[in-house]
Structure 1
Amino acid sequence: MEKVIILGTGPAGLTAAIYLARANMNPIVIEGDQPGGQLTLTTEVENFPGFIDGITGPELMDNMRKQAERFGAEFKRGWVTEVDLSKKPYRLQVNGIGEIETESLILSTGASAKLLNIPGEKENIGRGVSTCATCDGFFFRGKKVIIVGGGDSAMEEANFLTKFASEVVIVHRRNELRASKIMQDRAKENPKISWELNQTPLEVTAGENGVTGLKVKDNETNEEKIIQTDGIFVAIGHTPNTSFLNGQIDTDETGYINVIPGTTETNIPGVFACGDVQDKKYRQAITAAGTGCMAALDAERYLEGNAVHDWSKSL
Structure 2
Amino acid sequence: MPDIVIPVVDFAHFEDGSSPDAIEIGKQLVQACQEVGFAYFRNTGIPQAQVESMFEWSRKLFSLPIETKMLAPHPKEGWKHRGYSGVGREQVSQMVFDPSELAAIRKQTPDFKESFDVGRDNCPRVSNVWLPEEVLPGFRDAASAFYNTCRQFELEKLLPALSLGLGLPGGGEFLGNYHQDAENQLRLLHYPAMPTEVFASGERGRIAAHTDFGTGTILFQDDVGGLEVESPRGSGNFVSAPPIPGTVVFNIGDFLMRWSNDTLKSTLHRVRAPPNDGTGMIKERFSIPYFMSGDRSLLVDCLPGCWDEDRPKKYEPVTPGAYIDMRLDANY
TM over 0.5: no
- The structure whose residues are more often strand, as a share, is 1
The structure, 1 or 2, with the larger RCO (C-alpha pairs under 8 Å, 6+ apart) is 2
- Which protein is bigger by CA-based radius of gyration? 1
Bin for the TM-score computed over the shorter chain:
under 0.3
Q: TM-score, normalised on structure 1?
A: 0.27
